[in-house]
């Protein structure tokens, strides 16, 4: 009963998908929610209000002037947790976008100060029409969540976008929203209309300090490095670059100007992010130093798994197998420490420095040692000995430390959600540090 104690108002408009909303209401009630329903007059052409009354145990509000139901458009939303309008017709969407209040549903939406979710449902040409698109866009920019309609056969025989999302999917979104669960990145893309919603989990969107990242310049390093020993062989590690790419993508979406220095990975460059591709630790070092000394960066987040070592000598030709030898010696030397070098440059250029510690043992001790000896502002520790998180995994779990000590444990979650939470922490700490200066 995950929705026990949750009050949900469901609005039903006059669309062919109205019958599906009975299933949605049934699922919500079954999960313990207290559900009330508002229908438009047109909705009554498609389903009977008595069905909804039986499913919810409450009178259904239709007529704004009907005193018999004792429901009024101002008070009905006062104690709700969420208002879901499904199906949302082109007509009602237009009314909401204009702020009309000529029936119970539109007047209630106008008076509602709680989150409203819309599940548009209409013929594909009605949906693609510029008027509808503009209206939906307007509502999304005012904070409405738009649940992506499906593609496929329409009841009228046309094919295209506009089928209402399945009630089970709408239920899943509501559940995630009301229980503070997060949707996975894939679910997010699937359910929430990308054009209108940021691709983040919608809970995170509410939490993110949008404005604090606007106009901030952020440098991020990501991926592994390759240290060649001959033209075809190299030393590297399992880093996929996913954490750094997720941070870059989200920081950019939140208004930061992002440069990503990337080792060799197979990921697509995030939109609006300046990407510099490098191979070796030396190249990454040069690229980073060039960036921070030519422009003033506010923050650097070093997620790259830079090789600590490189070959003392790179052979010009492929090293041949020696049939007489069992053992080959490979001489290694230390690579330069990128984040430590940046953290110790002139104050004039020095950004706020966030390092990552990928450890397999003595976690906290190693992380705190790195934080102190490299002169970092923040360090993010993750356990790379586990196969379910860290290197090459879609999930991560981290512990964050500042100079003042332990800051936060971010439990196992998808890297994009973790990136959002981490950015929130970083920006918060960065802002406090600046305020203290």
Ligand X SMILES: Cc1cc2nc3c(=O)[nH]c(=O)nc-3n(C[C@H](O)[C@H](O)[C@H](O)COP(=O)(O)O)c2cc1C
Q: Which residues are known catalytic residues?
A: 156
| Stretch of residues binding ligand X (CB under 6 A), selected from 74-82, 85-93, 347-355, 404-412 | 85-93
Tell me the C-alpha distance between 247 and 421, whole Å.
10
Q: Considering the rule CB under 6 A, would residue 91 count as an interface residue with ligand X?
A: yes
Please enumerate in sequence order all residues whose Cβ is within 8 A of that of 407, keeping only pairs 6 or more positions apart, or say none.
378, 400, 401, 425, 429
- DSSP state for residue 184 in the 8-state scheme: -
**Residue 56 φ/ψ, nearest 5 degrees:** -100, -25
Residue with tokens 């980073």: 288
How many residues contact ligand X, by CB under 6 A? 15
CB nearer to ligand X: pick between 88 and 247: 88
CB nearer to ligand X: pick between 17 and 410: 17
Site for ligand X in 95-124 (CB under 6 A): 121-122
Give the residue, chosen from 6, 8, 9, 14, that forms a contact with ligand X under the rule CB under 6 A.
14
Q: Are 219 and 300 in contact (CB under 8 A)?
A: yes
Residue with tokens 């026990």: 4
Give the residue, chosen from 3, 8, 9, 13, that forms a contact with ligand X under the rule CB under 6 A.
13
Q: Considering the rule CB under 6 A, would residue 146 count as an interface residue with ligand X?
A: no
Q: How far is the CB of 68 from ligand X (least distance, A)?
A: 21
Site string for ligand X, 119-138 (x = CB under 6 A): --xx---x------------
CB nearer to ligand X: pick between 17 and 261: 17
Query: Would you call 121 helix, strand, or coil by DSSP?
Result: coil
Give the residue, chosen from 15, 224, 263, 270, that forms a contact with ligand X under the rule CB under 6 A.
15
B/e letters for 43-52, b = 16+ CB within 10 Å, e = fewer, are beebbebebb
Q: Considering the rule CB under 6 A, would residue 167 count as an interface residue with ligand X?
A: no
Site string for ligand X, 228-267 (x = CB under 6 A): ----------------------------------------
Q: Considering the rule CB under 6 A, would residue 90 count as an interface residue with ligand X?
A: yes
| Stretch of residues binding ligand X (CB under 6 A), selected from 37-45, 203-211, 380-388, 399-407 | 37-45
Tell me how many helices (H) and strands (E) the chain has.
15, 19
Q: How far is the CB of 174 from ligand X (least distance, A)?
A: 21
Give the residue, chosen from 7, 21, 56, 92, that forms a contact with ligand X under the rule CB under 6 A.
92
CB nearer to ligand X: pick between 122 and 342: 122
| Stretch of residues binding ligand X (CB under 6 A), selected from 36-44, 233-241, 270-278, 327-335 | 36-44
Residue with tokens 């998908």: 17
- DSSP state for residue 6 in the 8-state scheme: -
CB nearer to ligand X: pick between 162 and 270: 162
What does the block give as tokens for 221?
């390093």
Q: How far is the CB of 363 from ligand X (least distance, A)?
A: 55
B/e letters for 233-253, b = 16+ CB within 10 Å, e = fewer, are ebbbbebbbbbbbbbbbbbbb
Taking the CA atoms of residue 85, residue 87, residue 89 and residue 93 in that order, the dihedral angle to the nearest 10 degrees is 20
Tell me the C-alpha distance between 240 and 219, whole Å.
18
Q: Considering the rule CB under 6 A, would residue 149 count as an interface residue with ligand X?
A: no
Q: Considering the rule CB under 6 A, would residue 10 count as an interface residue with ligand X?
A: no
Q: How far apart are the first and last CA of the chain?
A: 49
Residue with tokens 């449902």: 121
What does the block give as tokens for 50?
């008595």
Tell me the C-alpha distance between 147 and 433, whole Å.
39
Give the residue, chosen from 42, 101, 235, 314, that forms a contact with ligand X under the rule CB under 6 A.
42
Q: How far is the CB of 405 from ligand X (least distance, A)?
A: 56
Q: Binding residues for ligand X, per CB under 6 A?
A: 13-17, 40, 42-43, 89-92, 121-122, 126
């Amino acid at each position: 009963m995950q929705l026990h104690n949750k009050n949900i108002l469901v609005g039903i408009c006059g669309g062919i998908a109205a019958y599906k909303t009975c299933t949605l209401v049934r699922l919500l009630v079954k999960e313990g929610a207290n559900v009330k329903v508002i229908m438009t007059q047109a909705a009554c052409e498609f389903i009977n209000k008595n069905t909804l009354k039986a499913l919810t145990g409450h009178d259904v509000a239709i007529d704004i002037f009907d005193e018999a139901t004792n429901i009024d458009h101002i008070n009905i939303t006062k104690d709700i947790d969420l208002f879901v309008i499904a199906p949302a017709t082109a007509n009602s969407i237009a009314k909401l976008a204009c702020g009309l209040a000529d029936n119970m549903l539109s007047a209630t939406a106008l008076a509602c100060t709680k989150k409203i979710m819309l599940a548009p449902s209409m013929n594909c040409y009605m949906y693609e029409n510029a008027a509808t698109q503009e209206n939906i866009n307007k509502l999304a920019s005012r904070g409405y969540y738009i649940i992506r309609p499906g593609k496929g056969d329409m009841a009228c025989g046309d094919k295209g976008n506009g089928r209402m999302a399945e009630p089970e999917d709408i239920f899943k979104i509501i559940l995630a929203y009301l229980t503070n669960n997060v949707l996975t990145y894939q679910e997010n893309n699937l359910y929430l209309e990308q054009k209108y919603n940021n691709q983040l989990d919608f809970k995170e969107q509410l939490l993110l300090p949008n404005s604090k990242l606007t106009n901030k310049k952020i440098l991020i390093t990501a991926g592994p490095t390759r240290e060649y020993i001959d033209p075809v062989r190299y030393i590297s590690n399992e880093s996929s670059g996913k954490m750094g790419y997720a941070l870059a993508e989200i920081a950019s979406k939140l208004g930061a100007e992002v440069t990503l220095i990337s080792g060799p990975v197979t990921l697509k460059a995030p939109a609006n992010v300046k990407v510099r591709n490098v191979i070796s630790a030396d190249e990454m070092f040069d690229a980073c130093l060039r960036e921070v000394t030519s422009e003033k960066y506010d923050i650097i987040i070093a997620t790259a798994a830079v090789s600590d070592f490189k070959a003392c000598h790179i052979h010009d030709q492929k090293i041949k197998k020696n049939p007489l030898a069992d053992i080959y010696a490979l001489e290694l030397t230390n690579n330069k420490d990128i984040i430590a070098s940046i953290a110790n440059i002139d104050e004039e250029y020095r950004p706020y420095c966030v390092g990552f510690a990928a450890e397999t043992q003595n976690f906290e001790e190693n992380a705190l040692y790195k934080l102190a000896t490299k002169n970092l502002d923040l360090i993010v520790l993750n356990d790379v000995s586990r196969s379910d998180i860290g290197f090459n995994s879609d999930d991560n779990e981290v512990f964050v430390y500042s100079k003042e000590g332990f800051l936060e444990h971010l439990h196992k979650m998808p890297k994009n959600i973790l990136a959002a939470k981490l950015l929130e922490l970083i920006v918060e700490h960065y802002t406090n540090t600046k305020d203290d200066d």
